[in-house]
Amino acid sequence: MTERLKDKVAIVTGGGSGIGQATAIKFGEQGAQVFMLDRTPENAEETKRSIEEIGGLAHVLECDVSKPDQVRQAIDQAARMAGRIDVVFANAGINGTMAPIETMEMDDWDQTMDINMRGTFATVKYAIPHMKERGGSIIITSSINGNRVFSGIGFSAYASSKAGQTAFTKMAALELARYGIRVNAVCPGAIDTNIDDNTYPSDDLKEVQIPVQFPEGHEHPLKGKPGTSEQVANVVLFLASDEASHVTGTRIYVDGAESLLRG
């Protein structure tokens, strides 16, 4: 079978865990040379080993996406090493602080926005000079939160950052179309990853939560459980590949209809 990303060069932010890890491995399996930008390089090194075990080529560059200088340097370095960039998966993100709006610290709001929203902007911005001659594909990991789901009380910063990402996806798709750069977003529902490690519920959160409970059943209509990172990675691979050559400026929900039940 032909490799779908043969000879392509891909950047993946947050390739050390979860959705980024599964996608980096899938990209490697499909013939791409993968550069993982992660603030925890030890984890990304494990992903690199997995890619190498299946015969792929991967590199780890330590980078905090909320630090624009680090993003620019890492992307420039990847372009220098590989000679081109074809695919960018702007995926690194955190849930961050979950707190009532009234008591959420400004710094907590900023941390979520800096990583999720500003980090996405920096990743796309600094990739453009390396993509505009040949074109390529940019995929942004947004969420059902902020797009279809607004019931995650305490998640105001997270949901706003994820809504911002899909607005930015559409703005970028139109602006970058002239260069043959496609820009799309994936909106996962609950996916089994390590994101809970980056979720900080405040002590007073229960004071604003609305006690909605499913009297019976669960919130995962399709399979009765959260999705997997591989299920998201398959969609990202499609968007990265030439099979999606006329798809740009859109968001694809990967949630087993969870958002239709919860929205």
Among candidate residues 135, 38, 148, the one with its CA nearest the CA of residue 91: 38
Q: Is the CB of 163 or the CB of 177 nearer to ligand NAD? A: 163
Q: Is the CB of 3 or the CB of 62 nearer to ligand NAD? A: 62
Minimum distance from residue 91 beta carbon to ligand NAD (Å):
5
Minimum distance from residue 34 beta carbon to ligand NAD (Å):
14
Q: Phi and psi for 13 in degrees, rounded to 5?
A: -90, 140
Question: Which residues 125-164 are close enough to bind ligand NAD by CB under 6 A?
Answer: 141, 143
Residue 239 in contact with residue 139, Cβ under 8 Å?
yes
Strand runs labelled E in 65-174: 87-90, 96-98, 136-141
Chosen residue from 5, 12, 191, 239 binding ligand NAD by CB under 6 A:
191
47 binds ligand NAD (CB under 6 A): no
Chosen residue from 9, 12, 65, 85 binding ligand NAD by CB under 6 A:
65
The two tokens of residue 193 are 């990853």
Q: Is the CB of 132 or the CB of 170 nearer to ligand NAD? A: 170
The widest CA-to-CA distance across the chain, in whole angstroms, is 56
Chosen residue from 30, 33, 66, 97 binding ligand NAD by CB under 6 A:
66
Q: Phi and psi for 149 in degrees, rounded to 5?
A: -115, 130
The two tokens of residue 97 are 């602080």
Backbone dihedral region of 201: left (phi > 0), alpha (psi from -120 to 50 degrees) or beta? beta
Minimum distance from residue 29 beta carbon to ligand NAD (Å):
18
179 belongs to the catalytic site? no
Contacts of residue 198, defined as CB under 8 A and 6 or more positions apart, other chains included, come to 94, 95, 96
Among the listed residues 158, 179, 200, 253, the single catalytic one is: 158
30 binds ligand NAD (CB under 6 A): no
Q: If DSSP codes are grouped into helix, strand and coil, which group holds residue 102?
A: coil
Tell me which stretch binds ligand NAD (CB under 6 A): 18-26, 52-60, 177-185, 209-217: 18-26
Q: Is the CB of 18 or the CB of 164 nearer to ligand NAD? A: 18
Residue 22 in contact with residue 54, Cβ under 8 Å?
no
CA distance 263 to 257: 10
Catalytic residues: 158
* Residues at the contact surface with ligand NAD, assessed by CB under 6 A: 13-14, 16-20, 38-40, 43, 63-66, 91-94, 115, 119, 141, 143, 188, 190-191, 193-195, 197-198
